[in-house]
Amino acid sequence: MYEISQDLSLDKKLEILSDAAKYDVACTSSGSDRRGQKGMLGNSCAAGICHSFAADGRCISLLKILMTNHCVYDCKYCKNRRSNDIERATFTPREICTLTTEFYKRNYIEGLFLSSGVINSPDYTMEKMCETLRLLRTEYRFNGYIHIKAIPGASSELINSAGLLADRISINMELPTEESLSLLAPNKSVKNIVTPMNSISTAIASHRLAIGKDARMERAVINDRLSHTIFSGNDRAKNIGTAGSKGIEEAVNSALLSNNVNRGGSFLPADPKDKSLRRPFAPAGQSTQMIIGASEESDYDIMSTAQLLYKGFDLKRVFYSAYIPLNDDSALPSLDTPVPLLREHRLYQADFLLRYYGFGISELLSDDKPNFDTRIDPKCEWALRHLGDFPVEVNKASYDQLIRVPGIGPTSIKRIMSARRYGHVNFMMLKKMGVVLKRAQFFITCDGHMMGNIPIEEQFILNRLTDADRKTSYQIQNPDNSVQMNLFNDFGLSAGSA
Amino acid sequence: MRVFICEHNWEAMLSCIYDAWSSKLGHANIRLTTQEPEQYSLLDEYVTVSFDRGKAESVMDAVNLKISPQVYSEIAYAAMSSEEDALDTIYRVLILGFAYGPNVVKMVGYKDVSRFFDIRRAVGNEVHHFIEFVRFHEIRRSLYVAHIEPKNHIVGALGGHFSDRMPSENWMIIDDVHKEAIVHPKDEDFYFKKLSDDEFTRLLCTEEENDEYTDLWKVFFDSIAISERFNPKLQRNLFPIWKRKHAVEFK
Ligand code: SF4
């Protein structure tokens, strides 16, 4: 099985193994700031850099490939699962190194995203991946961005050496509850996902402490201004509280309480004499991904797990990937199920609210209201339920109040606060500062006045907000459906958005 | 109205600011620009200013000392703009700066300051755009050449980023519009160069050289897109067609 693919040409391999990697959504090169060095190739820029946009509109920042699409596992939702009869290929470490450095020099990419199917065993696979990264960092002198996927079930030593070679390391949570994980990914378990996650987060924290940083990852500056966020508090075990995700919570708790992994020098690189191997541990942090819509869970389940992982393991990012039916399987939604793009979009918006706006998931959803409204975004939804707190006076309101106004974000708050020191802010200025007035207008006053004559009445505002977003929401769910779009316009159904 | 005209390079612009300032005609009665007017008006008087080291230095010192080094670097950055009113806007901002000090950049209520930031932002966006979308081509072993067609004179602003990114490679970025380039020899500092017509024509065809990694990149570019999420509209919004000219993946 391994040998067959060796005959394939490099471009054929690249075609197969990038095609197989494309469902992994993370492609950002952000989170690491590293200057270049003479004799080496590459640097890293904290904001991340996109180099192109693929036909699906997603940014291309990294050479995203699998090392191999051979796999001994049989995850139901995955194209590479053992039971599928597909063309298989495997890159040699040198092929990966050459592609990465040559693409990099042409400014096609910021670095490498390396994932893999499980070949022989998790340890064997992880070992091969580490070997590739080591070669890339030493002989090929590559100093750009690397994101590596840890293989669930690989030993913590191997995962640790991967973390020392990469900027970001991630393990996919895949599904938000234990039940669906055992149903759809029978070879994986919550434990062999959560345990390495914990070991990685401990390693990141101790490396950060060792170089004089705060143990926890940097968050958006705005979080320091807010009185309460999901990232406040330092005791991770106490911090996670009781979110509603079944099974996962227990596993997270027990992982956190048995914190006996990774002390001191146990994860020093193999050859500390080589300078290019003396690196911080995954400076861009760890991330994970969940598949949306392959299983029954509600948005509340998904976001609760996300919040749990942010709090418990200080994850830098959680990614959400709308399920695309690839396999015909009774355990899965049927092949003609539409890809839940709008739902995915709402989850990203909610994720933003957790990371940048100081919201907790229980403020947004509950057992009685487990799913987001598809018509309006989660922040508008929240605001509509709290109309009593509005309108807020832009010239007096605090950070905590402003951040909760729909249409106002961290950047515009910074501008508002700075402008307030020199005079009064009016609606014209707000517009210039990037405030989205078509949403914000219902919730703010400037020197006591609202922008128009607006009744503070839930149904009225809901209708207006729905109108303002209808076109966008429709396009998100139906990106290529131009015919329907015209129908919308022809019948005047889409309220022209200001 | 007296119009001060100079070439589009920073030293000449500083000299031009000096002459405009010391003309003592009243700020309302003068205008500065780097572009020859399409039509000369009979009511205006035109003065061409060329680079003068002493004048340039005295403006540089005045801005650095009396306003701030930050403001100096902000105006130098904005000066890469090709907007007709860029130099004049810089001049107006400096007038405010000499009156109010370094806080001038926060006074966005003033029309000149807000125009300044529009110009500054457009330049910044274009620099950022090319950091992302410059494509190098290997024309012979280990020599990488890129062509760009920017609106503003920004090729110099790309030097820092790419020197840090590829300190030990030989590379060159050529601005086809303004016929200027930055050149980076391996392990050395990059330098800026105005290209002669001859140099320019010789360098023009580098993108036709065969580079096998261009083909591999196209393979990757096509197979990484998820067909079930096909969204050309979004792709166009993020990467407008008119900006794709040198992006080999679209060829
Ligand atoms: S482990 Fe599961 S998800 Fe990963 S490649 Fe194998 S079958 Fe696919």
Please report, for chain A, the start and end positions of each structural domain, with discontinuous segments joined by +: 1-149, 186-326+338-368, 373-477
H helices present in chain B, as ranges:
10-22, 53-62, 69-78, 86-100, 111-133, 159-165, 197-204, 212-223, 232-238
Per-residue pLDDT, averaged over B193-202, amounts to 89
User: Of A172, A11, A171, which is closest to residue A89 (Cα–Cα)?
Assistant: A11
User: Of A492, A440, A450, which is closest to residue A470 (Cα–Cα)?
Assistant: A492
How remote is the CA of residue A138 from the centroid of ligand 1, in Å? 29
Between B118 and A260, residue with greater pLDDT:
B118
Q: Exposed, middle or buried: residue B150 (CB in 10 Å: 0-12, 13-18, 19+)? A: buried
pLDDT of residue A276 exceeding 50: yes
Q: What are B9's two structure tokens?
A: 């390079």
User: What pLDDT was estimated at residue A264?
Assistant: 39
Neighbour count for residue B183 (Cβ, 10 Å): 16
Distance from C-alpha of B146 to C-alpha of A201, rounded to nearest angstrom: 41
Between B164 and A23, residue with greater pLDDT:
B164
Distance from C-alpha of A133 to C-alpha of A276, rounded to nearest angstrom: 12
- Using an 8 Å Cβ cutoff, are A76 and A329 in contact? yes
How remote is the CA of residue B170 from the centroid of ligand 1, in Å? 41
Q: What is the pLDDT of residues A229-273, one digit of tens each?
A: 888 765 554 444 444 455 777 777 777 776 544 433 444 444 445
pLDDT-derived band at B112 (thresholds 50, 70, 90) equals very high
User: Of B250, B240, B239, B232, which is closest to residue A482 (Cα–Cα)?
Assistant: B232
DSSP state letters, A136-164: HHTTT-B-SEEEEEPPTT--HHHHHHHHH
**What single-letter DSSP state applies at residue B137?**
E
Strand partners, A114: A65, A148
Distance from C-alpha of A384 to C-alpha of A177, rounded to nearest angstrom: 30
Distance from C-alpha of A178 to C-alpha of A176, rounded to nearest angstrom: 7
Report chain B residues whose CB lies below 8 A from the CB of A107.
Answer: 133-136, 146, 162
Average predicted confidence (pLDDT) for chain A: 85
Q: Ligand 1 in contact with A71 (CB < 6 A)?
A: yes
- Look at B187 and A38 and tell me if their CB atoms are within 8 Å: yes
User: What pLDDT was estimated at residue B173?
Assistant: 96
* β-bridge pairing B143-148 and B137-140: antiparallel
Q: How many degrees, rounded to 5, is the angle at CA A277 between CA A274 and CA A281?
A: 150
pLDDT-derived band at A495 (thresholds 50, 70, 90) equals very low
Q: What are A433's two structure tokens?
A: 């500062």
pLDDT-derived band at B60 (thresholds 50, 70, 90) equals very high
Neighbour count for residue B141 (Cβ, 10 Å): 6
User: Of A395, A417, A413, which is closest to residue A404 (Cα–Cα)?
Assistant: A413
Q: What is the pLDDT of residues B25-41, one digit of tens each?
A: 988 999 999 998 888 88
Sequence-distant (≥ 6) Cβ neighbours of residue A170 within 8 angstroms: A26, A147, A148, A149, A150, A286, A287, A288, A289
Distance from C-alpha of A458 to C-alpha of A376, rounded to nearest angstrom: 13
Report chain A residues whose CB lies below 8 A from the CB of B129.
Answer: none
User: What pLDDT was estimated at residue A250?
Assistant: 78
Give the up-direction half-sphere exposure of residue B106: CA atoms within 13 A in the CB hemisphere.
15
Per-residue pLDDT, averaged over A416-441, amounts to 90
Per-residue pLDDT, averaged over A23-31, amounts to 79
For chain B, the first-to-last Cα distance in angstroms comes to 50
pLDDT of residue A487 exceeding 60: no
pLDDT-derived band at A485 (thresholds 50, 70, 90) equals very low
Strand partners, A318: A288
How remote is the CA of residue A187 from the centroid of ligand 1, in Å? 9
Between A205 and B82, residue with greater pLDDT:
B82
Q: Ligand 1 in contact with A291 (CB < 6 A)?
A: no
User: What pLDDT was estimated at residue A491?
Assistant: 41
User: What pLDDT was estimated at residue A481?
Assistant: 58
- Look at A107 and B247 and tell me if their CB atoms are within 8 Å: no
Q: What is the pLDDT of residues A429-461, one digit of tens each?
A: 999 888 999 999 999 999 999 888 777 788 888
| Nearest chain A Cα distance for residue B187, angstroms | 6
pLDDT-derived band at A275 (thresholds 50, 70, 90) equals low
Q: Which residue carries 């099974």 as its tokens?
A: A247
Q: Exposed, middle or buried: residue A124 (CB in 10 Å: 0-12, 13-18, 19+)? A: middle
Best residue among A78, A86, A114, A291 to mutate for probing ligand 1's pocket (most ligand atoms within 8 Å of CB) is A78
Sequence-distant (≥ 6) Cβ neighbours of residue B104 within 8 angstroms: B67, B71, B93, B96, B97, B113
Rounded to the nearest 10°, the torsion over CA A303, A307, A313, A317 is 60
